[in-house]
Amino acid sequence: MIVFKHANSRYPFLWETSSQPAARYNAEDDGPAQYFADTADGAWAEFIRHAEITEPQELLEVRRALWCVDVPDEEFTQVSLPIEKTTGDKSSYSDCQKFAKSLRDSGINRILAPSAAIKRDQAGGYRVEDGLKRGIPRSGNIYVIFELLPNTPGWRATLSGPPVEILELTNQF
């Protein structure tokens, strides 16, 4: 399954240790937790939301890689928390972290959840019809895999940073 991930262009695109910062579904040093988006716009929106970028000129300074990653096509467990928790601000993280830990403790290490970063129905990408147009509306998802993925290939999709248009699609904190 092809998914997308942003990463600091100085480092690999996957976590290789348990030492990583806290995020929605993992506490600090509770990794590896590999986060992926189902679209490139979703991956950029995740970065923009967490970096709290709100102005186009701020994007000019961004130097991150966007990766296209081929993760093993295995079953993912849908997160069953209320949408207010899965897409909420940072105050909702502890509930999501506890939920994810309970799944991992029961042997589940792959979860699927709605993206908190990309606005609902804005993950449809683009299409070409007399120029570039917005694609069919769809909501974005994220995939989280709680394991090392040493044999998972990834390809650099860009090294220069996100497009300015992504600011309009991002749910800010």
Residues present in the chain in total: 173
Q: Nearest-CA neighbor of 145 among 12, 23, 8?
A: 23
Strand ranges across the sheet with 64-70: 77-78, 110-114, 141-145, 34-37, 2-8, 64-70, 154-158
Which residues, listed in sequence order, are joined to residue 27 by a DSSP beta bridge? Answer: none
| pTM of this structure | 0.90
First to last CA, the chain: 30
**CA dist 65 → 1, 14, 71, 88, 93 (Å):** 20, 12, 18, 26, 25
* Amino acid at residue number 82: P
pLDDT in tens, 87-127: 999 999 999 999 999 999 999 999 999 999 999 999 999 99
3-state secondary structure at position 4: strand
The parts of the chain modelled with pLDDT lower than 70 are: 159
For residue 173, the model assigns a pLDDT of 84
For residue 75, the model assigns a pLDDT of 95
| Residue-range domain boundaries for the chain | 2-169
E strands in the chain: 2-8, 34-37, 64-70, 77-78, 110-114, 126-128, 132-134, 141-145, 154-158
The phi, psi pair for 152, rounded to 5°, reads -90, 120
